Chain A
């Protein structure tokens, strides 16, 4: 479903779909006159949430659905990402320290850190058997 202020699409939990997700979000943001660096960073935030859902909640199961919705309400951007994977308890998430990641030679754990710094609000809820992540950002008037 697509109308002027709403983007909505479904995809599957395969990492190769991430580029297509980014392209669709970018097209939506361009239509809303949202430019770089905001455009780039919002795409990055969506990519991070989707990658986490695919990898950690759904074990990259290509049969599992991932739903993405975006809308610009006045000057506030709302994006909702829904997956069918195992529960993710955001309350237990602790922002890692970069020094610790370097020492542990960690390749992960920075995605949510980025989302937290890019977006104004991040909220995870469990609805039935689905994880719903809502991220919000106030935009400057175009």
Chain B
């Protein structure tokens, strides 16, 4: 999996390309952790090129939900493919992990 992180106005956009699995989930964990340490308040995971997510990847999102809430950080997954949406639904996470089609207004 390839991961790139870039700033777009007030958003930090973490773009994932490929497969997010037990082998690659630490990359995402590190990127989110870095964003929080830098006190970013709007974190969006761009999933446009993300083909696959296992529970290891979903676990990274889950592990930060409390931090996002306590630090009042906006967090969302953007442009998520249908198979990944199905996986979130199977786990009952569709209401906990926000999914968007495009960046919201500033």
- Are the C-beta atoms of B83 and A40 separated by less than 8 Å? yes
CB distance from A75 to the nearest CB of B (A): 22
Q: A86-100: contact bitstring with B at CB < 8 Å (1 yes, 0 no)?
A: 000000000000100
Q: How many A-B residue pairs have CB under 8 A?
A: 89
- Are the C-beta atoms of B19 and A105 separated by less than 8 Å? no
Stretch at the interface among B6-14, B38-46, B50-58: B50-58
- Are the C-beta atoms of B62 and A111 separated by less than 8 Å? no
Say yes or no for A22: interface residue by CB 8 A criterion.
Answer: yes
Interface range, B side: 20 to 34
Q: B54-67: contact bitstring with A at CB < 8 Å (1 yes, 0 no)?
A: 11101110111111
Q: Whole-angstrom distance between the alpha carbons of A78 and B62 in the complex?
A: 31
Residues of B within 8 A of A (CB): 19, 21-23, 25, 29, 52, 54-56, 58-60, 62-67, 82-83, 86-87, 90-93, 96
Task: Select A103's contact among B22, B29, B66, B87, beta carbons within 8 Å.
Answer: B66
Task: Select A18's contact among B21, B58, B63, B67, beta carbons within 8 Å.
Answer: B21
A18-B21, A51-B21, A98-B93 are contacts. A36–B83 as well, Cβ < 8 Å?
yes
Q: Which 4 pairs between the two chains have the least Cβ-Cβ distance?
A: A107-B59, A15-B23, A110-B55, A40-B83
Q: A26-56: contact bitstring with B at CB < 8 Å (1 yes, 0 no)?
A: 0000000000110011011001100100110
- Are the C-beta atoms of B65 and A110 separated by less than 8 Å? no
- Are the C-beta atoms of B62 and A19 separated by less than 8 Å? no
- Are the C-beta atoms of A106 and B55 separated by less than 8 Å? no
Task: Select A102's contact among B21, B62, B90, beta carbons within 8 Å.
Answer: B62
Say yes or no for A2: interface residue by CB 8 A criterion.
Answer: no
Say yes or no for A77: interface residue by CB 8 A criterion.
Answer: no
The 25 sampled A-B contact pairs (Cβ below 8 Å) are A16-B23, A18-B54, A19-B19, A22-B19, A37-B83, A40-B52, A40-B83, A41-B87, A47-B21, A47-B22, A51-B56, A54-B22, A98-B91, A98-B93, A102-B62, A105-B62, A105-B64, A105-B67, A107-B56, A107-B59, A107-B60, A111-B56, A114-B87, A114-B91, A117-B90
